[in-house]
Chains A and B, each alone.
Chain A
Amino acid sequence: MSEMITEAAAAVAGERPDDLPDRADLARMYELMLTTTLADNKAREEAKAGRLQAAFYPVRGLEGVCAAMSAALRKDDQLVSTYRNLGDALAKGVSLRSIIAELYGRVGGASKGKGGGMHLHDTSVGFMTTTGIVGSGLPIAAGLALGAQLDQDDRIVVVTFGDGATSIGAFHEAMNLAALWRLPLVFLCQNNRWGEHTPIAEYAGNTDLAARAASYGMTALKVDGFDPIKTWSVLRGAAAAVRRGEGPMFIEAITYRLTGHTGTADFSYVPADELAAALRRDPAPTFRKWLCENGLFTEDELIAIERQSEDVVADAFGFAQASPLPGSEALHTDVFATDPPVEGVS
């Protein structure tokens, strides 16, 4: 099966672009990938130790796609993500403190501890919402994109989802509507080759997801999602086209899930050779090597970035663990806009 990853990566769009993100973007991309990796590792460790009583959906393997997004999108562009959202949220600029505190159900979390890690947002940086229901973010993203179109604003919307989401009805409804109305929307499929615990070949009659998207009448591209530079290049091109009003685009970023479905789930079923091949291309260390080998950053500069990432992660977990739990009064707030006291209903 390791051939499949190589094969899929070879079939994707284009070579490395001639130009690169500027140095500041490259540094940010590496820091984001590393922060994501470290925070993900830490969250799984905490969950396994029983100190984090929450389902956590690891993003290991998606770091390159998230880093590419961070450099390819504008701050006012909007993103809708899923329960596997850590890297997406960081890519859009959500504070790691608010992400981790929400994972712990604390007041300092993005949703004051009332949503949990599956329900993040920071609309001030365009991170609009995340959903725990597979595929459900796509129609909502279509609405956000219609809002941009009606506003005659050139912001665009990106919605991320796994390969598993391409089997559910909401995916098809949103794809058709977006194509019909030429919405400024990028469908970014983070194909990690697994739908929960089932490999893609066992749940899809046609595993070429981009081909499926093309049949809706939109441009669909594949890219090696383990390569942040190629992914950045493809995303940048897609964002520009969508921003020009050329209608929605579908990008299939081919990655591999480097962990179980959840932070604590058994994943002994993952073929060892396949996982080993994917881990040899683990996005953050591979990117580090590339940055170094190409003389883009010195060892000292990379170490400085790594220190920064380690500090950010330690700070976020410290903040989350110190943040208070919500008071019991929070149970009844935010049900309705004005929290109408409905007598007898509690």
Chain B
Amino acid sequence: MTVLENRGLTEPMKSAGAMTSALECAMTADDKVIILGEDVADPIGGVFKVTKGLSTKFGTRRVRATPISEQAIIGTAIGLSMVGYRPVAEVMFFDFITVAMDQIVNHAAKLRYMSGGATPAPITIRTTVGGSRFGAQHAQSLEAWFMHTPGIKVVMPSGPRDAKGLLESCIFDDDPCLYIEHMGLAFSTTEDVPVADFRLPLGKANVIRAGTDMTIISYGPMVRPSLEVSTTLAADGIDCEVIDLRTLSPLDLDTIFESVTKTRRAAVVHEATQFCGPGAEISSQIHEQLFGELLAPVVRLGAAYTPVPFSTALSGYPTHDTIVAAVQSAVRA
């Protein structure tokens, strides 16, 4: 994969705008990039506005609004990818992925293997997660299902710069990629993002804070809270290293092991359900590889084992305080 360095101009962007920029750059660079999904064409430009302006600029031939038809969206993307196109399929909410599981799990992820390498399906699926204002069928973090599915890459950015660099990499990657956007990040943080074509490597984690006492491993929406926790704990004399995984599959275990070898403690933090969540695998890998080195068992913090509740009063997600308490208890164990 080509990794383009950040050179040239940057502009302040929020994640939604950074993703639009990634799509625009990809479509400009390669006329085989086709967008498919419900409501993706102007004037609406996607329900989260990520594809706003693209059908006007590139035409509805390339930015194609579809029926409410997730199996057809993903299946069509697979077929397109088999004849040289680089389709970007939008599934409006992560929960709607369930309707297209057959096409994703039985086809996109397996076609390379089942054909002995002959007919891969390098599609990108963009989907959105997070928030609770729509209730339990519009909020589930299902990434562990896809980590458990050999053959598909799983990517989740934590901010605008990564949102652009990772999305472009997914589009031009030769494997199917599930790119998960978080609603809470789309219009919050602003960062300087390269205006031109910009790609970040898939399968490489980003160490965003160096520390010596504890490694906090996170991705997507829990990266910022993890950083804030590290600031809080620094005042308490606990020096945390923070890793943003960026890609959940392939999982950058090298970076994790290197960090935990140094800190000898680890916590995994995510919004996905804790039980059988991504943290279960990461924790197990650390225990298996570094058992003798660890000063405390690896801590996992994920969502409570419940459907996502509607009322914000019922949030089951890790919070600043629960992460702080868990880290403190591990360090003082």
A/B interface sample: 6 pairs, CB < 8 A = A114-B113, A133-B106, A174-B75, A176-B67, A334-B113, A345-B250
Is there an interface contact between A180 and B67, defined as CB atoms closer than 8 Å? yes
User: Quick check: A170 and B102 within 8 Å, CB to CB?
Assistant: yes
Task: Check B102–A129 contact: CB distance below 8 A.
Answer: no
Q: Taking each of B83, B106, B112, B254, which has the highest tally of chain A beta carbons within 10 Å of its own beta carbon?
A: B83
Say yes or no: B103 contacts A139, CB within 8 Å: yes
B81 sits at the interface (CB 8 A): yes
B292, CB-defined interface residue at 8 Å: no
Mask: chain B, 97-137; 1 = CB below 8 Å from A; 0 = not: 00000110011000111111111101000000000000000
> Given A129-B82, A335-B151, A342-B251, are A115 and B115 also a contact pair (CB < 8 Å)?
yes
Does B210 lie at the interface of the complex (its beta carbon under 8 Å from any beta carbon of A)?
no
Quick one: given A121-B115, A335-B112, are A143 and B81 in contact (CB under 8 Å)? yes
Q: Is the CB of B79 within 8 A of A344?
A: no
A146-154, A203-211, A237-245, A296-304: which one contacts chain B? A146-154
Chain A, interface size: which category? 35 or more
What string of 1s and 0s marks CB contacts (under 8 Å) between A105-142 and chain B? 00001111111100101010000110111001011111
- Tell whether, in the assembled complex, residue A150 and residue B34 are in contact, meaning their CB atoms are under 8 Å apart: yes
Residue of B nearest to A80 (CB): B79
A172-204 to B contact mask, C-beta < 8 Å, 1/0: 011011001000000000000000000000000
Question: In the complex the two chains form, is B174's CB within 8 Å of A337's CB?
Answer: yes
Q: Are A136 and B80 in contact (CB under 8 A)?
A: no
Which residues of chain A are near B191, meaning CB under 8 Å?
A: none
- Are B114 and A143 in contact, with the CB atoms below 8 A? no
Contact A136 B103 (CB under 8 A): yes
The answer on a CB contact under 8 Å between B75 and A138 is: yes
Closest Cβ of chain A to B116, distance in Å, is 3
* In contact, B285 and A344 (Cβ under 8 angstroms): yes
A residues 251-285 touching B (CB-CB < 8 Å): none
Of residues 54 to 82 in B, which have CB atoms within 8 Å of A's CB atoms?
A: 61, 66-67, 69, 71-72, 74-82
Contact indicator B76/A336 (Cβ below 8 Å): no
- What's the least CB distance linking A323 to chain B, in Å? 13
Q: With an 8 A cutoff between CB atoms, is A295 at the interface?
A: no
Task: Write the nearest CB–CB distance from A145 to chain B, whole angstroms.
Answer: 7
Give chain A nearest CB distance to B260 CB in angstroms: 13
On chain B, the residues within 8 Å of A177 by CB distance are: 66-67, 69, 72, 76
User: CA–CA, A140 to B69, complex, Å?
Assistant: 13
Expressed in whole angstroms, the Cα–Cα distance for A105 and B153 within the complex equals 27
In the assembled complex, which residues on chain B have CB atoms less than 8 Å from the CB atom of A141?
79
Are the CB atoms of A143 and B175 closer together than 8 Å? no
Q: Once the chains bind, are B251 and A334 in contact (CB under 8 Å)?
A: no
Is A333 in the interface zone, CB < 8 Å from B? Answer: yes
Give CA–CA (A173, B174) in the complex, Å.
27
- The answer to whether B74 touches A139, judged by C-beta atoms less than 8 angstroms apart, is yes
Asked if B102 and A343 sit within 8 Å, CB to CB, the answer is: no
How many B residues face the partner with a CB closer than 8 A? 50
B150 an interface residue at 8 Å Cβ cutoff? yes
Indicate whether A173 sits within 8 Å of B80 (C-beta atoms), given known contacts A111-B116, A133-B102, A150-B61. Answer: no
List the count of A-B residue pairs having beta carbons below 8 Å apart.
158
Check A99 for interface membership: any CB of B closer than 8 A.
Answer: no
Extra contacts, 10 of them, besides A143-B77, A143-B79 (Cβ < 8 A), are: A131-B107, A136-B71, A136-B106, A139-B103, A334-B117, A343-B253, A344-B285, A344-B288, A344-B289, A345-B251
B104 to chain A, nearest CB (A): 11
B residues with CB within 8 A of A: 34, 61, 66-67, 69, 71-72, 74-85, 87, 102-103, 106-107, 111-120, 122, 150-151, 153, 173-175, 203, 250-251, 253-254, 257, 285, 288-289
Interface residue? A50 (CB, 8 A): no
- 9 closest A-B pairs by CB: A143-B79, A139-B75, A112-B116, A173-B72, A147-B83, A337-B174, A143-B76, A115-B114, A111-B116
A155 to chain B: closest CB distance in Å? 9
Rounded to whole angstroms, the CA-CA distance of A151 and B81 in the bound complex is 13
A284 smallest CB distance to B (angstroms) = 30
| Residue from the list A123, A147, A176, A343 in contact with B85, Cβ < 8 A | A147
Q: How far is the CA of A338 from the CA of B122 in the complex (A)?
A: 13
Are A140 and B106 within 8 A (Cβ)? no
Q: How far is the CA of A342 from the CA of B249 in the complex (A)?
A: 9
Which residue of chain B has its CB nearest to the CB of A129? B119
Q: In the complex where A110-B116, A143-B82, A147-B83 touch, is A344 in contact with B71 (Cβ < 8 A)? A: no
Bound complex: CA of A139 vs CA of B87, how far in Å? 14
* Chain A residues whose CB sits within 8 angstroms of the CB of B119 once the complex forms: 121, 123, 128-129
Establish whether residues A337 and B78, one from each chain, have CB atoms under 8 Å apart when the complex forms.
Answer: no
Nearest-neighbour CB distance to chain A for B71, whole angstroms, equals 5
How long is the Cα–Cα vector from A119 to B107 in the complex, in angstroms? 11
Determine the residue in chain A with the shortest Cβ distance to B152.
A336
Instruction: Give chain B nearest CB distance to A46 CB in angstroms.
Output: 22
Does residue A340 face the partner (Cβ distance < 8 Å to B)?
A: yes
B288 cross-chain contacts in A, Cβ below 8 A: 344
Cα(A180)–Cα(B65), bound, Å = 11
Most buried by B among A147, A151, A169: A147
